[in-house]
Amino acid sequence: MRHHNKLLLAGLLLAAGAAQAQKTAADGIAEYRALLADGNPAELFEAKGEDIWKTKRGPKNASLERCDLGKGPGVVKGAFVELPRWFADTQKVQDLESRLLTCMSSLQGLDAAAIAKTPFGKGEQVAMEALAAWISGESRGQRMNLPQAHLEEQRMYQLGKRAFFFRGGPMDFSCASCHGEEGKRIRMQDLPNLTKNPGDGVGFAAWPAYRVSSGEMWSMQRRLNDCYRQQRFPYPGYASEVTVALGVYMGVNAKGAESVAPALKR
């Protein structure tokens, strides 16, 4: 009996070891994120973003509470999952960050061009990241639903598609080099295929996000600019047309996916 029990225990340990060996790197990262999820530091940025939204600032001593993010002045819930979109007042398709620049300029008198040129993690860029965290959080759980009725929205989708597949630079990379097919990864990081809907809370539906590795909140604009850096391209510029167009392309492809932003990233 004792010998039988030892054999049984050995069998269980071998089975457990085999199951552990079958666990993918993605499973491990998912478990790591799950452990941190209850205390996602993004919540601190959300609280800060809400405070900045409601605080009177700038030369005009005004808050952003009359900012129109696409659903009417001051309406925040549900706005994030419909951005980028066409805005009649600027005659442009704008994403969240470029629209915030418009509101900060028109309502508060802040210098939008100066903010756009400010390095990430400095000055008003810190406020931008917090605002992006709060606004995206107000649509958490809703489905991505970017509009494509306006001709400019359709043009930006096609421009974003061209930019996504454009190869260049010293390494002849494109966005599609990493995110254009199934089963790709960099080291321990699985890379979602963004040419189609990658699913709930993946890709476009997961940004802004808190980066554990750097201890910072990253908006989609920061993510896209850093992707260009990784491709050894020059920064395209904060809120530039190509970054907004890429947002349109990925956002439309993600239609119906549940937004989990601000998410948690390694």
Residues 6+ apart with CB under 8 A from 144: 81, 204, 205, 251, 254, 255, 256, 257, 258, 259
Clarify whether 227 is annotated catalytic. Answer: yes
Cα distance between residue 50 and residue 121, in whole Å: 18
- Do the Cβ atoms of 75 and 67 come closer than 8 Å? no
Catalogue the long-range contacts made by 33-40 (C-beta closer than 8 Å, 24 or more residues apart): 33/264, 33/266, 36/212, 36/264, 37/264, 40/210, 40/262, 40/264
- DSSP conformation class of 92: E
Cα distance between residue 224 and residue 218, in whole Å: 10
Which member of 67, 175, 178, 227 is catalytic?
227
* Sign of the Cα pseudo-torsion (153, 227, 140, 113, in order): negative
Q: Which residues are catalytic?
A: 227
